Amino acid sequence: MTITESKKDKDLGFFVRNQSIVVPIAAIFVAFVLGGILISLQGVNPLVAYRAIFSEAWFDSDGLLRTFQKTTPLVLAGLAVTVALRIGLFNIGAQGQLISAALASALAGIYITNLPAILHVIVSLICGVVVGALWAAIAGLLKAYRGVHEVISTIMLNSIAVGILDYLVSNPFREPDQSLQRTKKIAESAILPNFGVIPFGFILAILVCLLVSWMLNRTTAGFRFNTVGKNKFAASYAGINMKLMIVTGMLLSGGLAGLGGAIETLGITYRFEPAFNSGLGFDGITIALLARSNPLATIPAAILVGTLRAGGASLQFNTGIEPEIVDVLLAITLLLVSAPILAKFLFKGKAQKTANVTSGWGS
């Protein structure tokens, strides 16, 4: 038709081609609008409320440090879920892997002595990564050799991890003369430092994120991951060892979640207590879906979640709104991203299928 219209179609084509970016952003926008309505129903101006969150989380030095601290394990948990999604596995067990690793690194930080600081930190981190990876590998082995669906096994392994850790911190590794169930504090030499408002763990998380992105997009191993994720029958026919892929995929996924737990222990909590780390692994699922299983996109997604969580206190302090509104925002966002409603509404027939989450189901 007219020139202007065809130009507009081209503009829209840009959005259609970049749905994986457009849809999450639109979802966040809708969530904030709906959240804003909920906030205004309580008699508070939503703009004031959102400003309270963001000014605390980004424009206050303590708040900014806390935002980065909260973002760090979320990047890694998101990455853990993402990596598994890439080979069509839905790892719901990031939480269990993360907390097992948090305890493992705490124990390494406490009971390994006479190591120089840098070495002690590295050894403690590795302990966490290894334990997280091994915990996830159980689900991987069950899937590869017994056909147990990983959604079921990882959910159950979460509960098993909670039970075992409760026992371990209540009995053998409990801090002496302490009524709380928790371990001793880790040695000074095992503490991950902060550089001003940037925790060392955050830098590490970003580096790992870049590494994983490179691995998935630029290496043979990554090509195998993606092939398996796209079509496991074709991958199997092409000679890819499926059992090996499933187990390594879970090892890698669990290791990433484990690194998140280890950094949390060594950089923030300095000890293990079951009440710490709650929900981090599950936030990882939110982040992976928000990032549409693109490893680099987990960084902004995690920053968003970390920001909302860090600003929660200021929200209640300044407006009286309960911090749980943050969970409402995230839940709406997740619903809109994972259900294809929004994409169908915006792009109709040209809507892409949602992230390859669904390929893991029923197999």
Q: Residues 6 or more apart from 28 whose CB is under 8 A from it?
A: 304, 333
Buried-exposed string 117-150: b where 16+ CB fall within 10 A, e elsewhere: eeebbebbbbbbbbbbbbbbbbbbbbbbeeebbb
Choose one: 64-72, 199-207, 221-229, 240-248; the region binding other proteins (CB under 8 A). 64-72
Minimum gap (Å) between residue 37 Cβ and other proteins = 5
Spatial distance between the Cα atoms of 38 and 44, rounded to a whole number of angstroms: 9
Give CA 146 to chain center in angstroms: 28
Minimum gap (Å) between residue 195 Cβ and other proteins = 19
Question: CA angle, 291 as apex, 354 and 159 as ends, to 5°?
Answer: 90
Return the residue of 59, 111, 214, 317 that touches other proteins, per CB under 8 A. 317
Spatial distance between the Cα atoms of 293 and 157, rounded to a whole number of angstroms: 23
Minimum gap (Å) between residue 87 Cβ and other proteins = 32
Q: Are 111 and 185 in contact (CB under 8 A)?
A: no
Spatial distance between the Cα atoms of 169 and 345, rounded to a whole number of angstroms: 50
How many binding residues for other proteins (CB under 8 A)? 53
Minimum gap (Å) between residue 80 Cβ and other proteins = 20
Question: CA angle, 345 as apex, 339 and 348 as ends, to 5°?
Answer: 105
Return the residue of 28, 66, 191, 301 that touches other proteins, per CB under 8 A. 66
Give CA 166 to chain center in angstroms: 23
Minimum gap (Å) between residue 172 Cβ and other proteins = 15
221 binds other proteins (CB under 8 A): no
Question: Which residues 131-170 are close enough to bind other proteins by CB under 8 A?
Answer: 162-163, 166, 169-170
33 binds other proteins (CB under 8 A): yes
Closer residue to other proteins (CB): 178 or 363: 178
Choose one: 128-136, 235-243, 300-308, 316-324; the region binding other proteins (CB under 8 A). 316-324
Closer residue to other proteins (CB): 23 or 104: 23
DSSP string, 87-103: TT---TTHHHHHHHHHH
Residue window 168-207: x/- pattern of binding to other proteins, with contact defined by CB under 8 A: -xx--------xxx--------------------------
Return the residue of 25, 37, 211, 221 that touches other proteins, per CB under 8 A. 37
Question: Which residues 255-274 are close enough to bind other proteins by CB under 8 A?
Answer: 268-269, 273-274
Return the residue of 278, 339, 353, 361 that touches other proteins, per CB under 8 A. 278
Residue window 330-359: x/- pattern of binding to other proteins, with contact defined by CB under 8 A: ---------------xxxx-x---------
CA distances to 134, 163, 180, 253 from 96, in Å: 11, 10, 21, 12
Burial zone of 2 (CB within 10 Å; 0-12 exposed, 13-18 middle, 19+ buried): exposed
Return the residue of 109, 309, 343, 357 that touches other proteins, per CB under 8 A. 309
43 binds other proteins (CB under 8 A): yes
Residue 352 exposure: Cα atoms within 13 Å on the Cβ side? 15
Spatial distance between the Cα atoms of 286 and 93, rounded to a whole number of angstroms: 13
Residues near other proteins (CB under 8 A) = 8-9, 12, 15, 29-30, 33, 36-37, 40, 43-48, 62-63, 66, 69-70, 162-163, 166, 169-170, 179-181, 268-269, 273-276, 278, 309, 312-314, 316-320, 322-324, 345-348, 350
